[in-house]
Amino acid sequence: MLSWIIENIIEEYEREFQNIRLLSYNDRMELMNRKNIKIAVAMSGGVDSSVAAGLLKEDGYNVIGVTMQLWSGNNSGERCCSVSNIEDAKKVAKQLGIPHHVLGLQEIFKREIIDNFISEYERGSTPNPCVRCNKLIKFGALLNKVRELGADNIATGHYARIKIFKGKYLLKKGVDKRKDQSYFLYSLNQEALSKTIFPLGDLTKQKVRKLAKKFKLKVADKEESQEICFVEDDFGKLLSPKEGKIVDLEGKVIGRHKGYQLYTIGQRRGLGLARKDPAYVLKIDPKSNILTVGDRGDVYGDDLIAGDLNWVSGDRTDAPTKVKAKIRYNSPGSEAEILPLSKEKVKVIFIKPQFAITPGQSVVFYDGDSVVGGGIIQ
C-alpha cells in the first residue's frame, strides 16, 4: 500500500512540473518514519563507509554496521576486509553508538571471486574482481545476510547515486567525477537498487574527509586501499606461471616471458625486450604459452563483443543504441553504438579506436550520467 502511495506522489510531481523529475532514494525515504527504517551499512573500516554510517545515524535512521570477513588467516594489511580493517570498523561503530556484526562470507568469496579470478587469468583473460564482488557478494550474499538481521536496506560508501523515475531505479554517476564508482556497479539490478543507499553520492571526497573529522572518527585520515584485497604481496603466487615465447606479428621469436598470466593486453613494462621502439602485448595465447607483441598503434581497436550482460532498467536493448562506453574505470568514455547479437551478447562499435580492449574487463554503457548497463569483454 505504501509503495503504491509513493508511486502516485512521484506521478503527481511529474504531472505538476511536466518535466523529468528525478527523486533520489533518500527523497523517497523522507516520506516514511526514519526510526522504523533499519539500515545496514557495509563498513570496510575505511573513511568512506564510516562517514556513510555517520550520516545515516545523524539523520535519525536505525543503523547497524556490518563488516564482511572474506578469508581466514591473519591478513593484517590495509586491504578491504583485512583483520585490521575489521577492527577499525568495530571501533567506528562503537564511536557512533551503533551495533556491529562481522559476517563470515569466506566460502562464497573464495568460490566466486578468488577461484574465478585465478581461472580467468589461467585462460588468458584479465578479470575485474571488484565488479564481480559487487554483483555476487556485496549486493548479493551480503544483502541476503542483512535481511536476516532485520535490515530493510543496505548502504555503502560508494560514490554513486540512485534516482527514481517512473517507478524505475536509475544508477547515476557520483557528483565527484574523480571518485565516481558507477563503473563498478553496472551489474546491479532493480531489486538490488531498490534496497540500496549511497549516502556519499552527492558529496566530494574532500567533503567526506571534513565530515569524518566533524564526527571525530578514528579513521578520518586513513589512506585508501588500492590493491586487490586478496592479493597480499606476490601476485604470481596465486597462479602457475611458466616461461614462454614472445613473438612479433610475423611470428618471429624475439624474447621470453615469465608466464602469460602475468601480462595483460596493452602492457609495455616487464617484457625485457631489446627493441628500438617500445613493445606492447597484443595477444595472449594460453594454449601455446605465447605472447604476441607489436607497436603502440597495433594495440588500438574499434569494436568488441561483450557477454554476461546486465541492463540496469531490466529492459534489454533490442535495437542499435548510441551510448558513451567505458572499457576501464579510469577511461573518460567514448561515443559508441551497441548492436545486439543475441539475448546474451552485443557488439560495441566505437567512433574512435580504443587503446587495449581487454578480454575479461567490463565495458559499461552510459546515457549522460546514467548507467544503461554493461557486460564482460569477450
Going by C-alpha positions, the residue among 173, 200, 182 that lies closest to residue 368 is 173
Q: State how far the alpha carbon of 233 is from the alpha carbons of 34, 111, 343, 374, in Å.
A: 44, 21, 40, 31
**Rounded to an integer, what distance in angstroms lies between the CA atom of residue 378 and that of residue 362?**
9
133 is catalytic: yes
Surface-to-core class of residue 226, CB atoms within 10 Å of its CB (0-12 exposed, 13-18 middle, 19+ buried): exposed
Grouping H, G, I as helix, E, B as strand and the rest as coil, residue 75 is: coil
80 is catalytic: no
**Buried-exposed string 306-338: b where 16+ CB fall within 10 A, e elsewhere:** beebbbbbeeebeeeeebbbbbbbeeeebebbb
Q: What are phi and psi of 105, to 5 degrees?
A: -125, 30
Surface-to-core class of residue 87, CB atoms within 10 Å of its CB (0-12 exposed, 13-18 middle, 19+ buried): middle
Give the active site residues.
133, 229
